[in-house]
Amino acid sequence: MTLRLGLIGDPVAHSVSPVFQQAALDALGLDARYEAWQTPAAALAGRVTSLRHPDALGANVTVPHKQAVMPLLDAVDEAAGHAGAVNTIVNREGRLTGYNTDIEGFLSALRLDGGFEPKGATVAVLGAGGAARAIVWGLVQAGASRVLVLNRTVARAEALVSAMPDGKTAAAPLAGDGEALSKLLTPIDLLVNCTTAGMLHAAGEGMLPLPAGLLQPAWFVVDIVANPAVTPLLRAAAERGCRTLGGLSMLVRQGARSLELWTGRPAPFAIMLDAARRAMYEPA
């Protein structure tokens, strides 16, 4: 019996996850297929139910379903519960458990690939969706001194902040005049984009999440958008003299942890990263 895995989201056409996950499954010698499952909100419940079948190992979950999927599961692990978002579902004999590997994937990429230690840092996170929730939780746990969450709908940022411990987080609107935003962002060390601005095949393709003129050379800028490899934000940040890190390393690292949860075997990380890099779409 060929086992099934997939990526649940809307959109998913841009994702290289099926490529590098399939490379890992093949390297492990497993009879399994990993596919992209385009899933609008109305189809989410049915898609999750299908994961209870014996041939399903589980799934990854991406935008916009990382929060909406949680009540459809039988259990959620502690970290995912604190973060308020799930990006990995594991099927164990028809019982579905949710995990969040974005937390570990982001922190590992930040430290190992970006050379940035978040302990004591002042951080601005753009966006308030499922990925932002995981990243804010991870930064707080890693000892960041302050995390400012900016979102166009400030109520969503406030809801995210209210779920975080220790009073280290604050919310603000990702809108208004440049001067107000500049004052909010002046003291930061790290900027993390968790919006879909710049993502291929998304409504914000080719766009910046904030004006380029606000970027400061002292910042370390991370864009968790993995495709394209060089997003408009990363390009603008490099032009302004910032150190940067793209989303591919986080994507592969969180995917490697997901694979270990599904299979119980060590992930072939080098094979996964190589496959992801070869699959990337690079604009001319």
Alpha helices in 94-145 (DSSP H): 102-108, 130-141
Between CA 261 and CA 91 the distance in angstroms is 10
Between CA 170 and CA 156 the distance in angstroms is 12
Tokens encoding 261: 């949860």
Between 17-27 and 269-279, two packed helices, what is the crossing angle to 10 degrees? 140
Tokens encoding 96: 């579905």
Of 66, 119, 168, 183, which is the active-site residue?
A: 66
pLDDT band at 281 (very low <50, low <70, confident <90, very high): low
Cis previous bond, 268, omega within 30: no
Q: Are 3-100+252-279 and 103-248 equal in CATH topology? A: yes
Tell the CATH topology of 3-100+252-279.
Rossmann fold (3.40.50)
Q: Does residue 283 have a pLDDT over 50?
A: no
Residue scoring higher pLDDT (167 or 102)? 102
pLDDT band at 206 (very low <50, low <70, confident <90, very high): very high
- Sheet arrangement for strand 122-126: 169-173, 146-151, 122-126, 190-193, 220-223, 243-245
Place of tokens 């895995």: 5
CATH architecture of 103-248: 3-Layer(aba) Sandwich (3.40)
Between CA 12 and CA 35 the distance in angstroms is 10
Between CA 204 and CA 63 the distance in angstroms is 13
Between CA 58 and CA 149 the distance in angstroms is 31
Q: Parse the chain into domains and list their residue ranges.
A: 3-100+252-279, 103-248
Determine the average pLDDT of the residues in 162-168. 86
Q: Is 66 one of the catalytic residues?
A: yes
Which residues are CB-contacts of 268 (< 8 A; sequence separation ≥ 6)? 23, 24, 27, 28
Q: Does residue 19 have a pLDDT over 50?
A: yes
With contact defined as beta carbons under 8 Å apart, do 252 and 277 qualify? no
Tokens encoding 162: 């209210």
The overall longest dimension of the chain from CA atoms, in Å, is 60
Determine the average pLDDT of the residues in 53-62. 97
